[in-house]
Structure 1
Amino acid sequence: MIESLISDILFGFTGLISIINPIGVAFVFLDRTANLTDEERRLLAKRVAINAFFVLVVAFFVGTPVLHFFGISMEALRIGGGLAVAVSGWQMLNAPEPEPIAADHPVKPMSASSASGKAFFPLTVPLTTGPGSIATAIALNANRTHKLSAWLLSSFASIVISALVMLVIYYVYSRAARLSQYLGVEGTRVAMRVSSFLLLCIGVQIILTGLTGFLTPIADLRAVK
Structure 2
Amino acid sequence: MLTPFFGLTMFLAFTENMERSQQRRLALRCIAAVVIISMVLFHFGEIIFSLFGITLDAFRIGAGALLFLSAVNLIRGPGAGVSTASDGDISVVPLAMPIIVGPATIGTLLVMGATMQGTTTRLIGSLALVTAIMGLGILFYLAPAIERLLGRTGLAILTKITGLILAALSAQIVFTGIRNFMNQ
Query: Quick one: structure 1 residues 135 and 161, their matched pair in 2 at CA, closer, same or farther if it must change by over 3 Å?
Result: same
Partners of 1:56 and 1:137 within 8 A in 2? no
Q: How does 1:76-225 map to 2 (within 5 A)?
A: 76-95=58-77, 109-113=85-89, 116-126=92-102, 129-140=105-116, 142=117, 144=118, 160-161=127-128, 163-217=130-184
Aligned to 2:4: 26
One-letter code aligned to 1:199: L
Partners of 1:35 and 1:108 within 8 A in 2? yes
Aligned to 2:56: 74
- SS of residue matched to 1:72: coil
Partners of 1:55 and 1:129 within 8 A in 2? no
Q: How far 1:192 moved relative to its partner?
A: 2.1
**Structure 2 unaligned regions, length at least 5:** none
Aligned to 1:63: 45
Partners of 2:27 and 2:137 within 8 A in 1? yes
- Structure 2 CA distance for aligned equivalents of residues 169 and 190 of structure 1: 18
**Structure 1 unaligned regions, length at least 5:** 1-19, 99-106, 145-150, 218-225
Measured on the aligned residues, the alpha-carbon RMSD in Å equals 3.4
- Structure 2 CA distance for aligned equivalents of residues 171 and 95 of structure 1: 23
Query: Quick one: structure 1 residues 40 and 79, their matched pair in 2 at CA, closer, same or farther if it must change by over 3 Å?
Result: farther
Q: How far 1:171 moved relative to its partner?
A: 1.6
- SS of residue matched to 1:135: helix
Please say if 1:35 is aligned against 2:35: no
Q: How far 1:158 moved relative to its partner?
A: 6.4
- Structure 1 CA distance for aligned equivalents of residues 108 and 53 of structure 2: 19
The number of residue pairs the alignment matches comes to 178
Q: Which moved more, 1:128-137 or 1:83-92?
A: 128-137
Q: How far 1:29 moved relative to its partner?
A: 0.7
Query: Quick one: structure 1 residues 93 and 57, their matched pair in 2 at CA, closer, same or farther if it must change by over 3 Å?
Result: closer
Q: Structure 1, residues 51-80: CA drift from partner, whole Å, max 9, x if none?
A: 332234324532212211211111222222
Q: Which moved more, 1:153-162 or 1:170-179?
A: 153-162
Partners of 2:31 and 2:137 within 8 A in 1? yes
Partners of 2:35 and 2:130 within 8 A in 1? yes
One-letter code aligned to 1:61: H
- SS of residue matched to 1:112: coil
The TM-score with structure 2 as length reference comes to 0.72
- Structure 2 CA distance for aligned equivalents of residues 94 and 108 of structure 1: 19
State the identity as a percent.
19
